[in-house]
Amino acid sequence: MIHQGFLRAGVFSFALALGACSYFDSSTPPPCPNVSILAGSERLVLFKDGPGRDIIDILFEADMSGLRAACEYDDLRVDVQTSFEIIAARGPKSDTARAMIVFFAAVVDPDGRVVAKETFESRIEFPSGRRQIGVREEMVQRIPLSTQIRGPEYQVLVGFQLTPDQLEYNQSRRP
């Protein structure tokens, strides 16, 4: 599924040099912003309602991997194309046929501040008789640029949109 994000935050309201020449050497494309999966948000485990947190209580779980990124520049912005796989599996006692998985893309500025964030949904359909399925998600984030802040100074973080309990669960399972 392809998602197109137009990241327009108030923080991006800095002056763009509309009439200025490109500040990049046209013979060599500038490096892309760093793109990575936010540590701790690469795994999602959804449990049945109730207090149980054993393997038999899992409705489904999903892992994010295979991150790929590329970018294209023009004088005013960088478009960052990001893709990754979501591998989802039903729990051993689960008969759920579908899952809605929410993930995010966030743009972080050179000072470490999140200047824009968007959430997206991935609809997972488990075919009859299959416990596991994979999907590839693709999205484009557009980052306005200025002559003071360039593309490689930003980073794009992706991950599952977790609740505090899900994040705590992930952190408790880390080695």
Tens of pLDDT, residues 36-82:
999 999 999 999 999 988 999 999 999 999 999 999 998 789 999 99
The contacts of residue 30 (CB under 8 Å, 6+ apart) are: 24, 73, 150, 151, 152
Q: Which residue did the predictor score with more confidence, 146 or 137?
A: 137
pLDDT band at 160 (very low <50, low <70, confident <90, very high): very high
Nearest one of 72, 43, 74 to 141, comparing CA atoms: 72
Please give the DSSP secondary-structure letter assigned to residue 151: G
Convert 122-154 to b/e letters by CB count within 10 Å (16 or more is b).
bebebeeeeeebebebebbbbbbbeeebbbeeb
What are the boundaries of each domain within the chain? Answer: 2-10+30-170
8-state DSSP, 30:
P
- Each residue of 13-46: pLDDT tens digit? 222 333 333 444 556 778 999 999 999 999 999 9
**Looking at the domain 2-10+30-170, which fold is it?**
Immunoglobulin-like (2.60.40)
8: number of Cβ within 10 Å? 11
- Quote the Cα angle for 96-102-108, to 5°: 160
Q: How open is the CA angle 147-10-167, to the nearest 5 degrees?
A: 105
